[in-house]
Copies of this chain bind each other. A is one copy, B any other.
Amino acid sequence: MLKVPEHQVAGHLAIDGKLGPLVDDSGRFYKPLQGDGRGNKELAFYESFSSDTRVPDHIRKYFPVCYGSQLLEASNGSGLLHHLVLQDIVSSHRNPSIMDVKIGSRTWYPEASDNYIQKCLEKDRRTTTVSLGFRIAGLQLYGGKESGYWRPGRKEVQSFTVYNVRSILRRFVSSNSSIGNENSDCSFAPSIYGGSAGILEQLLELKAWFEDQTIYHFHSCSLLILFDKESVSKGSASVPEIKLIDFAHVVEGKGVIDHNFLGGLCSLIKFVSEVLSDSKESSIKDCVESEKPGICTDNGNCQ
């Protein structure tokens, strides 16, 4: 019944005899508890988080549901291993476009060892983590039945520059997002990034919480952004989703806000806002240029 997740865009994959997460058909995601205490730290976070009444419901929905832990045959054949049992976020989407964005201008935390800090710092400087306050850790773009998915390899993702990130945030919501296409039309930006249930509004809701909450500091944690391009194309009401994942390095906030996460989140918000306002401007321009008696609506669509 258990199988390798079809749409995993970052982290260790359960292929070629390696250890990785598994999914079942009932919408559950089984994540092997990582060694060196990290797995137990993530389990402890989920336990603390689910019973913490200070977390409001409108924030809780940004976290996967956790169903505890379970002993399962590990994907690498090493025998029984404890797995975190989580909601499989992707299972409700048919052909999801997914972006895994690791938030923060540092992935290390003061309590960590010098070795760990230097290792993280080196990677944070090599990627866009330091410069942007976030880095793309993985992604897949659905291009349609013919072209299928574009899923860049780990090395390519790790070499993304600020320029690449900006370009990918545009391609993510474009109808012409196949490989190598630099002239993204951003035609899905108004419906995916914009609108009252869009990605931007969800990011702003999270931001408001991070300006205030001093319970947790989320180091090396990712925002998963996902939506179904086909249902958007067909005009059906698919709501784009955001989920926070990967909590092996969460520490107590001790009365201080998570300024590292918040700063990176604000940087991502600025990038997403820019794609959205560019797409509105170009829609208005198209209306004017085509000399149609078009009305440019608030969400940038020409009617």
A residues within 8 Å of B by Cβ?
105-106, 110, 121, 125, 130-133, 162, 166, 211-212, 214, 254-257, 259-260, 262-264, 266-267, 269-270
The reply to whether A214 and B270 form a contact with Cβ atoms under 8 Å apart is: yes
A-B contact pairs, 12 of them (CB 8 A): A105-B259, A110-B125, A110-B130, A132-B256, A162-B255, A162-B256, A256-B267, A256-B270, A259-B263, A259-B267, A263-B263, A263-B264
The reply to whether A266 and B211 form a contact with Cβ atoms under 8 Å apart is: yes
- In the assembled complex, the Cα of A162 lies from the Cα of B214 at a distance in Å of 13
- In the assembled complex, the Cα of A256 lies from the Cα of B166 at a distance in Å of 10
Scoring A133, A255, A256 by chain B CB atoms within 10 A of each residue's CB, the highest score goes to A256
- In the assembled complex, the Cα of A254 lies from the Cα of B162 at a distance in Å of 10
The reply to whether A270 and B211 form a contact with Cβ atoms under 8 Å apart is: yes
Q: A133-B257, A262-B266 are in contact. List 12 more A-B contacts (CB 8 A).
A: A105-B263, A110-B125, A110-B130, A131-B256, A133-B259, A162-B255, A257-B267, A259-B264, A259-B266, A262-B262, A263-B264, A263-B266
List residues of chain B with CB within 8 A of the CB of A110: 125, 130-131
- In the assembled complex, the Cα of A257 lies from the Cα of B132 at a distance in Å of 8
Scoring A121, A133, A263, A264 by chain B CB atoms within 10 A of each residue's CB, the highest score goes to A263
What residue of chain B has the Cβ atom nearest to residue A263's Cβ? B263
- In the assembled complex, the Cα of A130 lies from the Cα of B256 at a distance in Å of 11
CB < 8 Å neighbour of A212 from B106, B214, B255, B270: B270
CB < 8 Å neighbour of A263 from B125, B166, B262: B262
- In the assembled complex, the Cα of A20 lies from the Cα of B125 at a distance in Å of 34
